[in-house]
Amino acid sequence: MTGNHPWADYPAGDDPLLGALTGRLKILRNVPGPAASRRRDLLVLVPPSYETGTVRFPVVYMHDGQNLFDPATSHAGAWRVGRALDSIRNHGIEAIVVGVPNAGEDRIGEYSPFRDRRIGGGEGDTYVAWLADDVRRRVDAAFRTRTDPSVTCLAGSSMGGLISLYALFRRPDAFGVAGALSPALWFAQRAIFRWLDGLETVAGRVYLDAGTAEGPLLLADVARFRDRLIDRGLRFGHDLHCVFERAGQHDETSWGRRLPAALRFMLDLAATGRGTP
């Protein structure tokens, strides 16, 4: 960390997943959210080399932060992000991961950029602005981050995947990479497709995936979104990657299993040295 900031070490307890982390997990407690009353803790995992070096690292902002590191706070099992980072480090890639917990019963509201007539929601713009302008400021002030959008990533699953895609194209000044695992593209009658078609330019780096056990509608949505991005100029295998995992399901275990490959693709720009430090 840099300077004097109230980030503390995360209490490891006795859980073997936390004890096995090879980086250092930090926590900033009671941070005001997009709505000031929706306070939450922010989590940051720095790689092992962080403590002894001066290098700046790319950053991955991940939604549903309580599901990433600690099984005790997870909805249905942790993603084991630390293990994923260990895996990509074997390929010469290191990054800082920021876990941004969801707002509980207000999760869908924050993660939905459009209002669904049946479910509601539609607070996504406020949430994205909070991530881009407040959370990033706090993280950049306390840690050695690379701040260029080309190495500033977003990642999430389901509704977290939807808001990651939206934020990428809504705030290209802040984010240049998105990982959308099993994204909820169906939300608000698939409004994300119509919104994408209305954009003048589409740029960035996108990882998409789904599991074949999640059903034909989700698979078709992901394939359609992939093809729409190609139509808008993204190049498959360069700016865009899409994976359909055989028998993958809509759960933390499946997303955690696919996360190392997702991060390898998302962070390729950082690994090859492109982008501004």
pLDDT digits (tens, 9 = 90+) for 64-120: 999 998 888 887 667 889 889 999 998 899 999 999 999 999 999 999 999 999 999
Give CA–CA dist 28/94, Å, rounded: 22
The reported pLDDT for the residue numbered 238 is 93
The reported pLDDT for the residue numbered 21 is 75
* Ranges in the chain, pLDDT < 70: 1-5, 13-20, 76-77, 269-277
One DSSP character per residue, the chain reads --SS---EE---TT-HHHHT-SSEEEEEEEE--SSTTS-EEEEEEE-GGGTT----B-EEEEESGGGTS-TTT-SSS---HHHHHHHHHTTT---EEEEE---GGGHHHHH-SS-BTTTB---HHHHHHHIIIIIHHHHHHHS-B--SGGGEEEEEETHHHHHHHHHHHH-TTT--EEEEES--TTHHHHHHHHHHHT-S---SEEEEEEEGGG-HHHHHHHHHHHHHHHHTTPPBTTTEEEEEETT--SSHHHHHHHHHHHHHHHTHHHHTT-S--
The reported pLDDT for the residue numbered 275 is 38
Count CB atoms within 10 A of the CB of residue 242. Answer: 20
CATH class of 8-271: alpha beta
Domain extent listing, the chain:
8-271
The reported pLDDT for the residue numbered 18 is 66
Global pTM reads: 0.94
Q: Token match 């994408």: residue?
A: 196
The reported pLDDT for the residue numbered 277 is 33
Give CA–CA dist 214/184, Å, rounded: 11
Give CA–CA dist 188/61, Å, rounded: 24
